[in-house]
Amino acid sequence: MIRISRNWTIVIVTFLLAIVAAIVAMGLGSVTLSIQDILATVFSTSSKAVNDTIIWDIRLPRVLLALIIGANIAISGALLQAVMGNPLADPGLTGVTSGAAACVLVIMLAAPKYTQFIPLAAFVGGLVAASIVYALAWRRNGISPITIILSGVAVNALCGGVIGCLTILYSDRLPGAVQWLNGSLAAKGNKALFMVFPYAMAGWIFSIFAIRKANIIRLGEQVASNLGENVNRIRILLSLLAVFLSAISVAAIGMIGFVGLVVPHMARLIVGSDYKYMLPMSMALGALVLLLADTGGRTLFAPLDIPAGILMAVIGAPYFLYLMRRRTF
């Protein structure tokens, strides 16, 4: 008989909760569908064309996109926290999100004919921003946690200035970008899902191979060096993976804050700091949290559709202050 550890049981249960939440989310909206209707439509046993349109063209792509993006950002945050040795590091704080958003917005507003380069632009923008923060925070004896925060604030302000200038210069094209800036999953459809899915799969596969390296680097630079590991190479590889996962998420739905900060903390509290459990737990929790935020945004204030990025900011900001209060960094 196969025995499953407590931590793996919790991880599996969380994944199952995300699946249940996804099924429930597909039933909620302006037209309420029962679980039987959803399952009948998904398994092609329903003859209602309207249900096919609602599920296949609108709600299923949106739900899957929320799950994928939530998982991506949570994994990205967990990896950055290992690399920088700072529990407050996340794609938003380290400038990855704003750097990627600024570059994407350049294409969306200034060069809309080249939208096929949005994923590449997001990756380059996130990488440049993270490199600046990383370089500014670097000290001879390692990375200064406080400097990471201050550098991140500066880079975010710079990118925010670029975004502000673009919105003024191209105000006539802004309506199409407003929802994206706020991290909305509304009207994304299958196009965004098919765009992000292959990249996400590649990132998740590489994340599995990164677990051992993340465990080594979180032990500290000296311990990693004593184990014969090239610390700088590990940092670069894990950072590239974190930026990649975050950048493709920004390219797909815009700026989502605090998932990369809050979720890894929740995962660490539940299953501990071992990345063998913490990383898949972050993935499952990130998917679940962003799905709940998106579902709440489009149902609690219906017919208004509040972007998930705004709800995450409302939830995440108090949690960030709580962490600052606890002085856990």
Over residues 192-246, the pLDDT tens digits come to 888 889 999 999 999 999 998 888 888 777 777 777 778 878 888 898 899 899 9
Report pLDDT for 192.
84
Structure confidence at residue 281 as a pLDDT band (50, 70, 90): very high
- H or E segment to which residue 229 belongs: none
- Return the amino acid letter for 172: D
Which pLDDT score is estimated for 1? 63
pLDDT at residue 140, as a whole number: 66
Q: What H or E segment, with its residue span, contains residue 139?
A: strand 138-139
Pair type for strands 142-143 and 138-139: antiparallel
> 155 is written with which tokens?
């880079």
- Please give the C-alpha separations between residue 313 and each of 92, 167, 209, in angstroms, as whole numbers: 11, 21, 31
Residue 271 near residue 278, CB atoms below 8 Å:
yes
User: Count of alpha carbons within 13 Å of 69, Cβ hemisphere only?
Assistant: 36
Q: Is the pLDDT of residue 57 over 70?
A: yes
Q: Strand, coil or helix: what is 42?
A: helix
Q: DSSP string spanning 97-122? A: HHHHHHHHHIIIII-GGGGGGHHHHH
In the predicted structure, residue 80 carries a pLDDT above the cut 80: yes
DSSP lists the bridge partners of residue 143 as 138
Amino acid present at 65: L
Q: List pLDDT tens digits, range 143-199.
A: 666 677 778 888 888 888 888 888 888 877 777 677 777 777 877 778 888 888 999
Q: What is the pLDDT of residues 240-274, one digit of tens each?
A: 899 899 988 888 888 888 888 889 988 988 998 89
pTM: 0.89
pLDDT of residue 84: 78
What confidence category does residue 114 fall into, taking pLDDT thresholds of 50, 70 and 90?
Answer: confident
Provide the phi-psi class of 32: left if phi over 0, else alpha when psi is between -120 and 50, else beta: beta
Q: How far apart are CA 260 and CA 193, in angstroms?
A: 20
**pLDDT for 106 beyond 70:** yes
Q: How does pLDDT run across 25-52, given as a tens digit for each residue?
A: 998 887 888 888 888 888 776 667 777 8
Residue 277, pLDDT > 80, answer: yes
Q: Which residue, among 209, 202, 44, has the nearest Cα to 123 in the 3D structure?
A: 202
What are the b/e assignments for 241-255, b being 16+ CB within 10 Å?
Answer: bbbbbbbbbbbbbbb
Contacts of 217 (CB under 8 A, 6+ apart): 82, 83, 85, 224, 229, 231, 234, 235, 238
